[in-house]
Structure 1
Amino acid sequence: MTAARPDVRVALVTGGGGGIGGAVARRLADEGAHIAVVDRDHEADAVAWRIRASGGHAESFLCDVSAEGAVSALVEEVTDRLGTITDVCCVAGSIRRGTVPDLSLADWHRSFADNVDSVFLVCRAVLPLMERAGRGRIVTVASGWGLRAGEKAAAYCAAKAGVVMLTQAMALDHSPAGIRVNCVAPGDTRTPMLAREARQLGQSDTEFLAEAADRPLGRIGTPEDIAAAVAFLAGPDADFITGTVLSVDGGGSV
């Protein structure tokens, strides 16, 4: 097991092979953290390689973070290879667009497994380690649709609202142990998941992206926009912030 070093920041990023997760991993690596890039697909390998090629520290870990046994093994492996986990960024998630009659029970369960169970399982495994260390920072990624509902996204809205409430409940429970827990709620962001949404709705990418950009700042977000917000909440400038939900949506929720 790697000896814990109080001067080393070890950040576990779920969904680290995706658009937002990859940007979060790279941003935190640029700030000096050692990164556990976690994904259920091998895209995590490419993100970790890119970080190392830029002079950072990162290792990739293949894991379905909605599976209980896999998460327990993941946290043990990350701790063994990188040291005590100081930061957790829960970015992993999925979307299946549809109204309630459109959705199967399997769709509903998958949405909650990917978006809520993953946060619960990772945090349940890591929080005792953070409590023993007397410090820790957790940032979850919900959605603007976890704060205000959107059309044809019933399961996603419900699941992301669950992420928001789970975040705030953890902030209340674990602040006395020196652990801060916050949430970022992105608006539409230019990622492969956004393109999948367009296909689910039978729209062209061009049409879908044009509609998504109809917000006060006149554009959709980039993964780097979201990563900057995550890095702020996980960093020292946010030391007096816990239980907050930061909307990063170009004014779309105004």
Structure 2
Amino acid sequence: MLEVVNDKSEIFPLGFLEIFRNLEKLEVRSSSYKEIFSNGDIVKYAPMLECIKSLKLWKLPDLKYMWRQESEMDSILQNLEILEVWWCDDLINLVPSSVSFQNLTILELWYCRGLKTLLAPSTAKSLVRLEKINVEGCEMMTEIIASEVDVAENEIIFRKLEFLSLENLESLTSFCSGNSTFKFPSLEDLFVIDCPKMKIFSTGVLQTPSLNKVRQKRGVDEGFWQGDLNATIKWLSKEKNVQSFEEDCDHPVMHHLG
């Protein structure tokens, strides 16, 4: 395991990894990087990067990309199992759309306030081993899987995903607004907490055979269900609006006349 802290460089010094040929866990914190993996010498360092199973990026306020759209870099983290990104407010794009993560099991994104979508559909299709998604505090995020314009119907199967949490996402309108078919055969735990603009889960065909509730509180097993996931999200949205209206009526604005 390697931790890199308080580096003022703009690009992560890949050459530094040459002395860590069996590196499995990389944690980068409180540094000034705009990119983690630059295209310059990526072929040279690819064998070392392929060993990494866990990547955690914390408090990187200048980070715009993990890496840019470059075909020769699409397989540099093929054995990655855990990806956590915290407090990276300038992040424009988590990974290029051409990237696949066939071994990823845990994906967590916290308080990346500038990111508008989490993944491209092509990357989402590759997540055949993903078990957990946790997204919280990303105030500009409008959808988790980006919708694609002028694309024929797409089928995305999260075959092993058991846990999905969407929390404190004030701009989120849906998991995906495109026409993709989503299948979640193993999904049992779904949290939707403080997502005030979310009125539907997805607009395409949706299958969640193992899901029987949507939870709105941590540490509470109780949830809500209205026959299917989209109907439940719609119902919760209406209930929230009714509750907000009732609260406004209970606390009328006082007008003071001079």
TM-score by length of structure 1 reads 0.27
Look at both structures and tell me which one has the larger radius of gyration over its CA atoms: 2
Counting helix residues as a fraction of each chain, which structure ranks higher? 1
Counting strand residues as a fraction of each chain, which structure ranks higher? 2
Higher relative contact order (CA 8 A, sep 6+): 1
